[in-house]
Structure 1
Amino acid sequence: MEEELRNLIKVWISAFISISYCYYISSRISKGFLRLLSLLPIFIIFLLIPLFFSSVHFCVISAFFLTWLAPLSPLPSTLSRFFCFACFPIKTNQKPSSSQTYNKPMSKWVLASKVMIFSFLLQLYSNNYHNSLSQLPFLAIFTIHIYLEAEFILFSTGTLLSTILGCEIERVFNEPYLATSLQDFWSRRWNRMVPSVLRPTVHIPVQQYTTRLIGPNLAFYAGVLATFLVSGLMHELIYFYIIRKSPTWEVTCFFMLHGVVTSLEIWVKSMRLCPPPHRAVSSLVVVVFVFFTAGWLFTPQVLRNNVHKRVINECLFVIDFVKSHLVNIVM
């Protein structure tokens, strides 16, 4: 653990130096090939950063914060703001009227209930009750655990940076289990930082390029599939950081499957072939589809390579660490 903390300090010092260099270069070299060439060493550094960690949590967080999102950040007016927006998955809340539903802050009661559920799951782990469960119930519990932990990390990060920067930060997750369609799930509720990055960098360019080849209607779906493909490839990279083995492409298949089904869903809605189902029915269908396709394609690598055991052990280690230090403080 001490070695991991030293690596963490080194990584964030390197990140600050790299971001400062990017800020300096971007303010002095106009957009084009020369700027891209100047920033290429930073892209390589951020691509290698997760390999410095053996901890699943540190590896995944650094991969998501730095490897994926940092090179695609805008250029704010000051270095401090640029560092915050480049190194953390945050976005200022503009509160457009069309998406006001998705920008509401999390209710204190909802947050409290999620903390209680997460505490209950940790208690199951500490008492080894999870070892007696069959695969399907354990996958359900572990999926809830991963979602809650990711939301807590991103929520606390956003809250802290919102206080420091003096601006309101958009929520990254917005109750994805309430999604009424796959389009709603992926574009408005689940990890909203990713679509906000992939839409201008993948979806729109692909749609514009393919419009002249296949027409505007099919070009839209080409943009959707390209977005899911890039997301799948980035998740394959994150899996490689964690497992350090050649990809099996199951994760890419998971995202391509969801891209195809989401495209079909959008097409059916546009054709108005049938009335939309009740919200409760559509939400249940979305949750079931996401859960079972994830169990089929997304999580097998996690179980085969015992990543779930590493995640649980790291959580239990943190709990024991906090308990021991609290006891020492009290004594």
Structure 2
Amino acid sequence: MVGEKISSFIQVWLIVVTSLCYCHAIGRTVPKGTTRLAFLLPVVCLFLFLPLKLDSPHLGGLTAFFIAWLANFKLLLFALDRGPLNSQVSLPLFIALACLPIKIQHTPLSKPHPNKGISSSSVVNYAVKVVLLGIILWAYDYIDYMHPYVIKLLYSLHIYFFLEIVLAIGAAVVRSFSGLELEPQFNEPFLSTSLQDFWGKRWNLMVTGILRPTVYEPALRFSSAVIGRKWAPLPSVFSTFVVSGVMHELMFYYLGRMSPTGEMTLFFLIHGFCLTVEIGLKKASKGWWQPPWVVTGPLTVGFVLGTGFWLFIPQFTRSKTDVRAFEEYAELGAWLKECLGFLMEK
């Protein structure tokens, strides 16, 4: 079973890499604009279809996030010669930038160095999170004895640690091959001082970076012409959260193959509305009242967790993604044990 899933995963990603080779060639030969967009649209449609070929919650979920969301948004920007993709870079780097949640910092390293940009504190930080993720996986053995809110908290921490570790590994691989310093994807979201700080500077920064040029900036230009530059960020921020909600509905469809319930969209509409109000109050007060972090920090994290427990986490249980994930861990353990036994016999 595990072997079949890995085989399907490899097949899908061979198609992805081949498609991105085509996109790289298109960028070098076809001028930007509607003509290039017409050549890239078949790949965008293909990337929307490919995650349906994977029924693994881990491999399928990550593939959907990488190609159906990030890569497709980057390709749409690439059609206009904007965003992180550039046909002048090498093909391997183009492929990595297209389908991995990474972003090159403005000041690249002058020479590749395996340890450059990786501090000892970062190593310790990730090592601690790997250990914590292992503890969470172990704790699932006793899930029948846990309170539902404890289970939801474990799921929330699992998602955070899993995403940060996987994205950090992807960035480290690209860094080792290219010698370029890459921006981190998370910035300790539990230290957030406000919703603006959480969504704009700390949580899944690659999504923030790709939604800004594709949704926020066009909406900002339109809103500026209608209501003026001062208040234009408010509808622009809300529009960004609407799109994010729709894309999360799509991601959960890939995970569970269930019709959207609207709860994902509601989660992001609530956060978009509250963030819009927060920004509006800051503009109206001109920053004269700023509560200390000891007040705003727990309120922010508590609000994110509370709304997540209500609308976000239940999507995993409703689609039985959590059950399938546990089965996948068991299958992986049995498969690794079988492989180890085979190697020992040799």
| TM-score (structure 2 length as normaliser) | 0.88
- Which residue is equivalent to 1:251? 264
Q: 1:185 aligns with which of 156, 173, 198?
A: 198
Which residue identity does 2:264 align to in structure 1? Answer: V
1:90 equivalenced with 2:91 (yes/no)? no
For residues 183 and 333 of structure 2, the distance between their equivalents in structure 1, rounded to whole angstroms, comes to 29
- Which residue is equivalent to 1:99? none
For residues 333 and 292 of structure 2, the distance between their equivalents in structure 1, rounded to whole angstroms, comes to 42
Which residue identity does 1:242 align to in structure 2? Answer: L
What residue ranges of structure 2 are gaps of 5+ in the alignment?
A: 75-83, 109-116
1:229 equivalenced with 2:237 (yes/no)? no
SS at structure 1 position matched to 2:273: helix
SS at structure 2 position matched to 1:218: coil
Deviates most, 70-79 or 190-199: 70-79
For residues 331 and 163 of structure 2, the distance between their equivalents in structure 1, rounded to whole angstroms, comes to 18
Which residue identity does 2:10 align to in structure 1? Answer: I
For residues 205-243 of structure 1, give each alpha carbon's deviation from its aligned partner in whole angstroms, at most 9, with x where no partner exists.
Answer: 111012222222332111101111111111000011111
| 1:104-183 alignment runs, 5 A limit | 107-125=122-140, 128-183=141-196
Assess, with a 3 A threshold, how the Cα gap between structure 1 residues 217 and 136 changes in structure 2: closer, same or farther.
same
- Which residue is equivalent to 1:33? 34
- Which residue is equivalent to 2:315? 301
Query: Is the CA contact (8 Å cut-off) linking 2:245 and 2:264 kept in structure 1?
Result: yes
Which residue identity does 2:188 align to in structure 1? Answer: E
Which residue identity does 2:14 align to in structure 1? Answer: I
- Which residue is equivalent to 1:100? none
Query: Is the CA contact (8 Å cut-off) linking 1:203 and 1:224 kept in structure 2?
Result: yes
Assess, with a 3 A threshold, how the Cα gap between structure 1 residues 150 and 292 changes in structure 2: closer, same or farther.
same
- Cα deviation, residue 104, structure 1: 8.7
- The root-mean-square deviation of aligned C-alpha atoms, in Å, is 2.0
Deviates most, 319-328 or 214-223: 319-328
For residues 45 and 241 of structure 2, the distance between their equivalents in structure 1, rounded to whole angstroms, comes to 23
- Cα deviation, residue 323, structure 1: 4.5
Assess, with a 3 A threshold, how the Cα gap between structure 1 residues 66 and 174 changes in structure 2: closer, same or farther.
same
Query: Is the CA contact (8 Å cut-off) linking 1:122 and 1:316 kept in structure 2?
Result: no
The alignment-based identity, stated in percent, is 36
- Cα deviation, residue 328, structure 1: 5.4
SS at structure 2 position matched to 1:9: helix
Assess, with a 3 A threshold, how the Cα gap between structure 1 residues 124 and 35 changes in structure 2: closer, same or farther.
same
For residues 79 and 185 of structure 1, the distance between their equivalents in structure 2, rounded to whole angstroms, comes to 34
- Which residue is equivalent to 1:74? 85
- Cα deviation, residue 249, structure 1: 1.0
Moved segments of 4+, more than 3 Å? 103-106, 319-331
- Cα deviation, residue 326, structure 1: 4.3
For residues 288 and 93 of structure 2, the distance between their equivalents in structure 1, rounded to whole angstroms, comes to 48
What residue ranges of structure 1 are gaps of 5+ in the alignment?
A: 97-102
| TM-score (structure 1 length as normaliser) | 0.92
For residues 185 and 175 of structure 1, the distance between their equivalents in structure 2, rounded to whole angstroms, comes to 9
